[in-house]
Each structure stands twice: as C-alpha cells, then as structure tokens.
Structure 1
C-alpha cells in the first residue's frame, strides 16, 4: 500500500507571497477593465526594496505596470525602508511579453472549439472542499496551517 503526505501552508498579512498575489491580481484587473479579452499570465516576485513583474500578456489595454506595482504596494502599507519596501522608491522591473503562439494555439478558441478540444494554461491549480473533520468545515491541514 502506498502512502503520501498531504500538507497545507498559510501565510499571513505582509508576507511577500500575499503582496505578489495582489500585484498580479491588480495587473489582471487593469487589463480586463480595458480589454475583456485579455490573456494574462502574470507573475510577481519581490525581495528587499525590489519588485519584478513578468510573464506573458496579450491585450489591447494600455497598462502602466510600474504604476500598478507602486500603487498596490502603497495601498497595502509598504511605504518605508523600515518595512522592507518603499512603494515610491523601490526598484520595479517589468518584463512582459506577448503570449507565445504555441500556448495561444492550445488554450484559445472557446468560441470555435468544443470544450474538450481547449487546452488549459499552467496558471493556478487549486482545489477546495467542505468536510466534517473540523467544526469550521475546512480540511484539518488548512485549519492547523492557519492557527
């Protein structure tokens, strides 16, 4: 009989992962606001006083990525070197390219292809479920990770 280890992770407010997720979300929102047909695969990483936004984005939107990074950091409260990132003075690196034709061919066509013919991109593999193993109706690993 094979066994496996199932774990969960949780990060709190102020963690770089949370900041990066919010920046990537803000980029997506900005693209979709101007062009609902935008295709966005945006990644963000950060280290002391630097943020990098990179990925593949195909859109007709005119997006100022640096402004989005700074605004998002500022709104969260990253406004001083004392907290590791100053929204107004940090280095912002942007490396956004058009989506590659190979990926586009596999994942687009929702108006012309049958659902089983449309591929999936590699962004976001999540699952969730309710369970009676805890009073919160959440999996025990999640409850323990967030305590």
Structure 2
C-alpha cells in the first residue's frame, strides 16, 4: 500500500509539473498514513485526497478488513526541498 500511495503522489504532481522534484515516502499503520519527505513543485495537489483515493482503489474500504480509506488519518510531514548551490 505504501508504494502505491507514494507512486500516486508522484504521478499527481508530475501530471501538472513535469519538472517537479519529489522525494515522498509513505508509512502505513492500521488506520493511519504518514507522508514524509521533500517536494518542490508548482503543482496544487491535495495529498490527503490522493492518499485516500489510492487506499480505496486498491480495495481497503472497510474497517472490518483492517483499513478504510474513507476514515484513515493522513499525517503530512512534507517540506520544500532546499536549493543548494555549489
């Protein structure tokens, strides 16, 4: 699930900003997803929505099976990448 979420975030960003720089990882625990990393982009992406849609798309849509994308917490720990010139 974590790889699917990270890939979906990257795809959503690159759709509108092909020059974006993205280093985004997902950590998944029952009922919670943490997105962490660095993103530099002009794209306007709702990371929580992309995360939830991805969870639902792969079939996690019921708390009885351990995960429901509609009710999962999504924690964002994303910053812009630093621009370091040498």
- Common topology (TM > 0.5): yes
Instruction: Compare relative contact order (CA 8 Å, sep 6+) and give the higher one, 1 or 2.
Output: 2
Residue 22 (1) aligns with residue 4 (2): yes
1:68 corresponds to which residue?
Answer: 50
Within the candidate set 61, 73, 79, 1:79 is matched to 61
Report runs of 4+ in structure 1 exceeding 4 Å deviation. Answer: none
State the alpha-carbon separation in 2 of the partners of residues 37 and 101 from structure 1: 14
1:4 corresponds to which residue?
Answer: none
State the alpha-carbon separation in 1 of the partners of residues 23 and 35 from structure 2: 11
**What residue ranges of structure 1 are gaps of 5+ in the alignment?**
1-18, 107-147
Note the C-alpha offset of 1:27. Answer: 0.5
TM-score when normalising by structure 2: 0.94
TM-score when normalising by structure 1: 0.56
Superposed counterparts of 1:38-77, under 5 Å: 38-77=20-59
**What residue ranges of structure 2 are gaps of 5+ in the alignment?**
none
Say which one has the larger Rg.
1
State the alpha-carbon separation in 2 of the partners of residues 70 and 56 from structure 1: 20
Q: CA RMSD in A?
A: 1.2
